[in-house]
């Protein structure tokens, strides 16, 4: 199979959309277990500046994004290696990763630090999914996923706003993913691995959180809307992507919901929760079947 990379551009950062700072690749994994082995292969090169996300088709399709500054040969090498090992059956360059589509963000504006946020959380998820004592293809247990959502809220959301943001987040999950959050905790699944590593505390760059809030304030002023209408959907989307990375679509969403209910506190039934989110209503990329 002959691979050709995305076309290089000579545009400056100022002149091009931020999503063009990344080369995206969509790969189809040979099996569910091949997904875990693929993550081990990618991580072997210490590619902490990359990001990746799962697409909804039973864990078979993933997208990886690589900074344009990275040599094209390095991108093709890992894909060729994955094909040779039988871990993936197809690999296609994409003009834009699904999680970077402008239509997924408030007012069609992708945060300037979105790629960096995705890379930081990808690196955290990769560390958990490839460091367990069990099969590296296994997903994380529910409590580990819920802890990660809680950590991301601690990192990105001021304490006084967390309950309201979690309330919006729950409503958005219902509206966009067809999931009905309720006050009844989901059943506890069997452990994935006896000694599965716990994610550390937030341990994420404070500067990224500050940059996200600064960007949100600028967009809010331009659009004439409250700043929470801009950054709340971004926080929700980032947490959801991370939950799906760690647990898959269904289990990840259950753990995400459990964490949000705990963060929100109070009435588990959601009294007073908005009937529909006031931000973008476009479904998460994971809610749409991936194209071959």
* DSSP structure string for 196-263: PPPP-S--S-HHHHHHHHHHHHHHHHHHTS-THHHHHHHHHHHHHHHHHHHH-HHHHHHHHHHHHHHH
Lowest mean pLDDT among 74-88, 171-185, 230-244: 171-185
Give the contacts of 229 (CB within 8 A, at least 6 positions apart): 106, 220, 278, 279
The beta strand positions in the chain, using DSSP E, are 22-29, 51-54, 61-67, 88-94
Element (H, E) at 34: helix 32-43
Beta bridge partners of 24: 65, 94
Q: Give me 160's structure tokens.
A: 């006084």
Give me the pLDDT at residue 201, please. Answer: 62
Higher pLDDT, 174 or 3: 174
245/259 Cα distance (integer angstroms)? 16
Please report how many Cα atoms fall inside a 13 Å half-sphere around the Cα of residue 58, on the Cβ side.
Answer: 9
Which has the closest alpha carbon to 240: 97, 113, 117? 117
Task: 277-282: list long-range contacts, CB under 8 Å, 24+ apart.
Answer: 277/168, 277/171, 277/172, 277/175, 277/176, 277/233, 278/168, 278/229, 279/106, 279/168, 279/172, 279/229, 279/232, 279/233, 280/103, 280/104, 280/105, 280/106, 280/233, 281/175, 281/176, 282/103, 282/104, 282/176
Beta bridge partners of 28: 61, 90
Tell me the pLDDT tens digit for each residue of 70-99: 777 777 888 899 999 999 999 999 888 889
Banded model confidence at residue 147, pLDDT cuts 50, 70, 90: very high
Q: Give me 208's structure tokens.
A: 């990224």
Give me the pLDDT at residue 289, please. Answer: 31
Which has the closest alpha carbon to 28: 242, 291, 286, 287? 291
Give me the pLDDT at residue 186, please. Answer: 42
57/59 Cα distance (integer angstroms)? 6
- The bridge status of strand 88-94 relative to strand 22-29 is antiparallel
**236 pLDDT above the threshold of 90:** yes
* Average pLDDT value for the chain: 76
Residue pair 212/230 in contact by the 8 Å Cβ criterion: no
């Amino acid at each position: 199979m002959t691979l050709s990379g995305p076309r290089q551009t000579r545009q400056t950062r100022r002149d091009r959309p931020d999503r063009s700072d990344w080369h995206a690749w969509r790969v189809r994994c040979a099996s569910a277990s091949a997904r875990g082995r693929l993550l081990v292969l990618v991580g072997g090169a210490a590619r902490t500046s990359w990001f990746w996300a799962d697409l909804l088709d039973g864990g078979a399709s993933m997208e990886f994004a690589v900074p344009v500054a990275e040599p094209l040969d390095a991108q093709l090498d890992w894909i060729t290696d994955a094909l040779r090992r039988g871990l993936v059956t197809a690999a296609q360059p994409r003009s834009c990763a699904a999680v970077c589509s402008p239509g997924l963000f408030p007012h069609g504006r992708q945060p300037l630090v979105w790629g960096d946020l995705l890379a930081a959380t990808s690196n955290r998820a990769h560390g958990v999914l490839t460091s367990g004592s069990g099969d590296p293809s296994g997903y994380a247990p529910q409590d580990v996923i819920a802890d990660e959502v809680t950590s991301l809220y601690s990192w990105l959301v001021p304490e006084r706003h967390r309950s309201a943001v979690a309330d919006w987040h729950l409503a958005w999950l219902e509206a966009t993913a067809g999931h009905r959050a309720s006050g009844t905790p989901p059943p506890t699944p069997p452990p994935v691995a006896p000694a599965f590593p716990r994610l550390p505390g937030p341990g994420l760059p404070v500067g990224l959180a500050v940059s996200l809030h600064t960007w949100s304030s600028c967009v809010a002023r331009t659009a004439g809307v409250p700043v929470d209408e801009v950054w709340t959907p971004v926080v929700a989307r980032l947490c959801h992507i991370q939950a799906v990375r760690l647990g898959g679509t269904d289990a990840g969403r259950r753990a995400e919901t459990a964490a949000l209910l705990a963060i929100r506190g109070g009435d588990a039934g959601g009294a007073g929760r908005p009937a529909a989110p006031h931000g973008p209503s476009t479904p998460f990329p994971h809610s749409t079947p991936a194209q071959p």
